[in-house]
Amino acid sequence: MVLGLTCAVVVPALDEEASLPLVLADLPREVDRVVVVDNGSCDGTARVAREAGAEVVREPRRGYGSACLKGLAVLAAAPPDVVVFVDADYSDHPDELGRVVAPIAAGEADLVIGSRMLGEREPGALLPQARLGNALACTLVALLYGHRYTDLGPFRALRWSVIGRLELRDPGFGWTVEMQVKALRAGIRVAEVPVSYRRRVGVSKITGTVSGTVKAGAKILYTVFRYARRASRGRVKPW
């Protein structure tokens, strides 16, 4: 248990054989369950995860959101109090998990975003295009939903009991912002805590390429506008 709560960690992974063992080694021992979702890797990602003691499941449908949704589906048979998402590239600091879970344990929040903007960042860890896209998305969320986030960071904790109210379904790059805007629409308590961030192991599949950056940015902005538009037209039933 972490701070008195049962805690499961979901790690979406695609060809992260080199970095994944580092991530798993840095997770606090108090974590109750670790699920690595292999999103169609061509390297030894699944093997190194099993060797580190993690539970490995496959999600052949490519996409960050698809992998995270698979992890939630696996946990549903025995739900924890809180689920934490952390990337497999070792850019996050898994040893700071307790910091991310703390507002939930204190009864102050149901969704906690680990903010890279509020924490310490290693030089070069967050590329200029990522900083620009993140700032634009957060500004639009503030304008359209009335809440100022500082980050769409992947390191986050979510109280299990509120997951159904979010109706998460995005299979790709829009997963993180979908969670954040739907939480605002559903009246779910949100918080941000500062987390550290370093240069990832290997090359980013998103911001490391022009096409990946463009596709991710477009999907994030589409998601921000999509749910704002649906809410304004009243076509979505309250959760």
Give pLDDT tens digits for 157-173. Answer: 999 999 999 999 999 98
Separation CA 162–CA 183 (nearest Å): 9
Q: Is residue 133 part of a domain?
A: yes
Q: Give the Cβ contact number of residue 92 at 10 Å.
A: 27
Q: Is residue 30 part of a domain?
A: yes
Q: Is residue 56 part of a domain?
A: yes
Q: How many residues does the chain have?
A: 239
DSSP secondary structure letter of residue 52: T
Give pLDDT tens digits for 52-80. Answer: 999 999 999 999 999 999 999 999 999 99
Q: Is residue 238 part of a domain?
A: no
Q: Is residue 73 part of a domain?
A: yes
Within 8 A by CB and 6+ apart from 3, the residues are: 98, 101, 102, 105
CATH number of the structural domain spanning residue 138: 3.90.550.10
Q: Is residue 2 part of a domain?
A: no
Separation CA 227–CA 215 (nearest Å): 19
Could you tell me the residue range of the domain that residue 126 belongs to? 7-233
**Contact in structure between 147 and 190 (CB atoms under 8 Å):** yes
Q: Is residue 224 part of a domain?
A: yes
Q: Is residue 1 part of a domain?
A: no
Q: Are strands 33-38 and 82-85 parallel, antiparallel or unpaired?
A: unpaired
DSSP secondary structure letter of residue 222: H
Separation CA 96–CA 27 (nearest Å): 8
Separation CA 3–CA 84 (nearest Å): 13
pLDDT at 230 over 70: no
Across residues 208-216, what is the average pLDDT? Answer: 67
Separation CA 195–CA 42 (nearest Å): 31
Question: Over the chain, what is the mean pLDDT?
Answer: 92
pLDDT at 21 over 80: yes
Q: Which residue has the higher pLDDT, 75 or 213?
A: 75
Give how many domains the chain has, as a whole number. Answer: 1
Within 8 A by CB and 6+ apart from 123, the residues are: none
- Give the full edge-to-edge strand order of the sheet including 82-85: 55-58, 33-38, 7-13, 82-85, 156-159, 111-115, 190-194
Q: Give the Cβ contact number of residue 163 at 10 Å.
A: 19
